[in-house]
Amino acid sequence: MKVSACSYRPILVPCSLKNHDYQIDPYVGCEHSCHYCYVLNQAETDWSEEVLIHKDIAGQLNGELENVSPQTIYLGYYTDPYQPCEAEYRQTRQVLELLLEKCFSVSILTKSDLIVRDMDILREMDHASVSVSVAFNDNRIRQKFEADTIDTEARIRALQKLREAGVQTSALICPVIPYITDVTPFIETLAPYTNTIWIYGLSIEDRSGRNWQNVQGILQTHFPDLKEQIESILFAKEHSYWTELRQQLTELKNDRKSDLRIHL
């Protein structure tokens, strides 16, 4: 993997998520190369070959935080902060060290167990929280949709370690791909390690995007019998597949009195 410096750009940027004013993406691009990724459509490099880093992430961020009061910052919107090259380049670790020093906290979303390395910092922060995302019950299928992520089981073990260390956790079942992602078994598996589980369907804006071109190719090659059905569900404004799944999950939520956040 080639890692190069990106052109100068702000590191601390406004965040559109509820409860977060700012986000930080320690990398530009993402080595995980999920074929369905919504950021792919604006990728600056071929992520399977090259990702970009900020020249002096801690120095620049230190300046950008000068007039910002301590608060919780979101990490993981446009990139995975714990993609494989973080083990060597430690961009995320540098950000966390600085944020801790300045009394900030973080909400992190990742698909990687490398986050366990930074539990020492997360435990020191007030209200740090980590969300781990999973989507594929079968790792052979995962490899078709996510070129370079770790096994689902390893992610769940990371969630367990975080929870045991006293870090606030949640999980994402995302993206739910019709007929491919089996949501209910995931809820059973994740429940011991988190109180909150968010569930999101695969979102593809339009057929011209690179993510749809990728997904379409995977479906054509590996799931030819399901391709048309899945495509019609993904591009319908509302579809009975989602209505029924929503209903089933709502019943499960009520029965178990669990904190399922259903966004399907």
The footprint of ligand SF4 (CB under 6 A) covers 30, 32-34, 37, 39, 79-80, 111
Q: Which is nearer to ligand SF4, 39 or 141 (CB)?
A: 39
CB of 83 to ligand SF4, least distance (A): 7
Token duo for residue 43: 């990728």
Any long-range contacts for 85-89 (C-beta under 8 Å, 24+ apart)? 85/1, 85/3, 85/27, 85/31, 85/51, 86/26, 86/27, 86/112, 86/114, 87/114, 87/117, 89/3, 89/53
Helix (H, G, I), strand (E, B) or coil at 7: coil
Q: Is 69 in a helix, a strand, or coil?
A: coil
Q: Which of residues 34 and 167 has its CB atom nearest to ligand SF4 in the complex?
A: 34
- Minimum CB–partner distance for residue 110 and ligand SF4 (Å): 8
**Minimum CB distance to ligand SF4 smaller for 57 or for 100:** 57
Burial (0-12, 13-18, 19+ Cβ within 10 Å), 234:
buried
Smallest separation (angstroms) from ligand SF4 to the CB of 250: 26
**Rounded least distance, CB 144 to ligand SF4, Å:** 14
For ligand SF4, which is the closer residue by CB, 99 or 172?
172
